[in-house]
Structure 1
Amino acid sequence: MQDKPLKIIADENLALTDYFFADLADIEYRAGRGIQASDVHHANALLVRSVTKVTPALLEGSAVEFVGSATIGTDHIDLTGLAVANIEVSHAPGCNAQAVAEYVVTAILTLQPEKIHAGRDFCLGIVGLGNVGSRLAMLAQRLGWRVIGTDPNVQLPDVENLNFAQVLAQSDAISIHVPLTRTGIHATYHLFNADTFAQMKPDCFLINSARGEVVSEQALLDDIAKTRRLVVLDVFEHEPVISQNLLDHLALATPHIAGYSLEGKARGTQMIYQAFCQHFNLDAPKQFESQLADMPELFNSDQPLQTQLLALLPQLYDIRADDQALRAGLNTEGMVDATHFDYLRKTYPLRREWAAYGDQVL
């Protein structure tokens, strides 16, 4: 280790930061959305989430040589610019995949509980078959649903791999799990637009827990006005700015917390801890599991998931409570207050993944 302690600037909402890093470096915490160049000037490392835009300008003149983002995506980081500046970037792909998959299934069954017994008569379309999409596919198949998916870069052996248009046309529900990209033949910015919605069944409901700008908000509002489509949003095109008009048209809305399980957040911090230690040539013996409390056994391993899940959902995750908490932030101008949105995320009571209660996750 260096003669002088390393210095870290960290988003205050990261999980288990002290456990993983306190004996390795001096840590200063900041609100992620407000991190500025003056904050990082003397830091050796910056640890963030998706709300911090990390650019060469933010780090220019600083001692930062490592950026760790406890997130599955990197669209908030100028990867090219940081590479030119010889700054290592690490993130946490797949860290909260199980949490997001459980969120999606919870949303579906909260709105349409009868689907638990629909079997292959219910078709779930997954757009994006990476870490999250593939995890969701496995969970949906455990419920006996037909699962179709589309991804230009991934083919899953146990999923019907179709093109985008086929998924749009055949799905009874569509869940989005793509990164936000603005260029190239497979750009995802406004992937869901007026043309896309026109290709979907009117009663196909939509869940977006990926990135807000993948869905055109205006096209979505126009479509809901025509079809009365059920829509669940955890992310928003103009986040954290959310209008009452949009909320009034949504079946469920949550404050970007689909992946906010204790396991998911802890796993994300552990992944950047391991990369941090490798970068600075330090040992990395710690595991997040040692920090998690034991939970009661709720699942019966002798029964299939679909025979017990509905009864357990109220104990596992009350998604309507998150919806109500977000709507409670509407101000007199008909907008969700941005500070309220960030407060909900900062103070979110991290839920536990189903495996903590005895579910036999594949």
Structure 2
Amino acid sequence: MTEYPPSNDSITSDARQAPCDAEKKQVVFLDAETMDLPSLNTSALDKLDAEVTLYQQTHADELVERIKNADAVLVNKVVLQAKDLQQAKQLRYIGVTATGMNNIDRDYCEKADITVQNVEGYGTDSVAQHTLTLALNLATNFVAYQRDVRNQAWSASSHFCLLNHPVVELAGKHAVIVGHGELGKRVEALFKAMGMQVSIAARPGKQDDPRPHLESLLPNADVISLHCPLTEDTDKLINADTLSLMKPTAFLINTARGGLIDEEALYYALKNKQIGGAGLDVLSVEPPPVDHILLKETLPNLLITPHNAWTGKGARQKLLDSAIAHLSAHLSSCLSDPQG
């Protein structure tokens, strides 16, 4: 593709004739803007045996019209509910360009024989790097010192350095990780490389997990890093009760899902300096409203990034390549099942 359309416009790629059907399969990417495709190698997308239409964004009132004739859909965060999917009579495949699938009515898809396929593991390095970045920024008060330099506080200092913000060495400190999949293991390795002691908390809701429960680890934790999915067992896992167990110097890191944290409870814990700080890459509502409780005022012990831990170029390329490979395999299956 040589041109990327402005928001809400679409572009249709020329692709080879589907080998098992007189008509090309119709593939629709509902929110291609979330991938920043112009920065990636899209040759695999161009070579699909299908007619591919890319929409930068898709709003709720545009959804049915865009999927009603689709055989397959690629989607990142657009919500696909049963009432909309029912209008897509040809739809047999939904490829999620993410790991989480909370935006898809999977119960309906199972009943309607629609395959839902996500992508796992693509962002391990990117998210782990971001997790460590948040922890290091909190430990070194990096943002505060950078602000002091810009505000000429260093230039006005009577000494060669500034010492007005505390700096913590992570070496020797205790990190607690919640969620020990591929990403949690990578973060564990990075923390250990920094000389930290690492404990892995039991999986929330899993009664037979022999590892220590989170509540028993929090009183001695210097860094708590969340890498678990959002489920009924993990919803508001970090709340007023768990925050009350933490050290006043503890740092909380969340690069997983915003709903893991009771944001109102966190706001008061930070404002009252009940904990040392928090570094968040996710919030419960994204994009957040301007009056979001964690955004309505500047808290010096809070760092928030705009859900971009996963966006390393290498990670996005892996994500695109994997999503297209899954889709291509689905399309190729019509060789043995022409009705597929």
Tell me the CA shift for residue 57 of structure 1: 2.2
Q: Is the 8 A contact 2:175 2:198 kept in 1?
A: yes
Tell me the CA shift for residue 239 of structure 1: 2.4
Q: Is the 8 A contact 2:280 2:303 kept in 1?
A: yes
Tell me the CA shift for residue 163 of structure 1: 1.6
Name the structure 1 match of 2:212: 162
Name the structure 1 match of 2:55: 30
Tell me the CA shift for residue 69 of structure 1: 0.9
Tell me the CA shift for residue 89 of structure 1: 0.7
1:221 aligns with 2:267: yes
**Runs of 4+, deviation exceeding 4 Å:** none
Name the structure 2 match of 1:348: none
Tell me the CA shift for residue 142 of structure 1: 2.1
Which is helix-richer, 1 or 2? 1
Could you report, residue by residue, the CA deviation over 1:210-269 in whole angstroms, capped at 9, with x for unpaired residues?
111111111111211222531111111232224365132352111111111111111112
Q: Is the 8 A contact 2:178 2:203 kept in 1?
A: no
2:105 to 75, 78, 81: 78
Name the structure 1 match of 2:81: 55
Tell me the CA shift for residue 140 of structure 1: 1.6
Tell me the CA shift for residue 154 of structure 1: 12
Tell me the CA shift for residue 55 of structure 1: 2.4
1:66 aligns with 2:93: yes
Amino acid at match of 1:255: P
Tell me the CA shift for residue 99 of structure 1: 0.8
1:108 to 135, 138, 141: 135
Stretches of structure 1 lacking an aligned partner (at least 5 in a row): 284-362
1:246 to 280, 294, 297: 294
Name the structure 2 match of 1:298: none
Amino acid at match of 1:69: V
1:129-144 residue pairs with structure 2 within 5 A? 129-144=180-195
1:256 aligns with 2:307: yes
Assess, with a 3 A threshold, how the Cα gap between structure 1 residues 130 and 41 changes in structure 2: closer, same or farther.
same
Name the structure 1 match of 2:282: 235
Name the structure 1 match of 2:255: 209
Q: Is the 8 A contact 1:70 1:265 kept in 2?
A: no
Amino acid at match of 2:281: D
Q: Is the 8 A contact 2:263 2:293 kept in 1?
A: no
Larger-Rg structure: 2
Task: Name the TM-score, length of structure 2 as normaliser.
Answer: 0.73
Name the structure 1 match of 2:116: 89
Could you report, residue by residue, the CA deviation over 1:17-69 in whole angstroms, capped at 9, with x for unpaired residues?
842222222222224452611111111111111x2112222221312211111
What fraction of aligned residue pairs are identical, expressed as a percent?
26
Stretches of structure 2 lacking an aligned partner (at least 5 in a row): 1-18, 141-166, 335-340
Name the structure 1 match of 2:147: none
Assess, with a 3 A threshold, how the Cα gap between structure 1 residues 202 and 32 changes in structure 2: closer, same or farther.
farther
Local SS of the residue matching 1:9 = strand
1:276-315 residue pairs with structure 2 within 5 A? 276-281=327-332
Name the structure 2 match of 1:331: none
Q: Is the 8 A contact 2:28 2:70 kept in 1?
A: yes
Assess, with a 3 A threshold, how the Cα gap between structure 1 residues 195 and 154 changes in structure 2: closer, same or farther.
closer
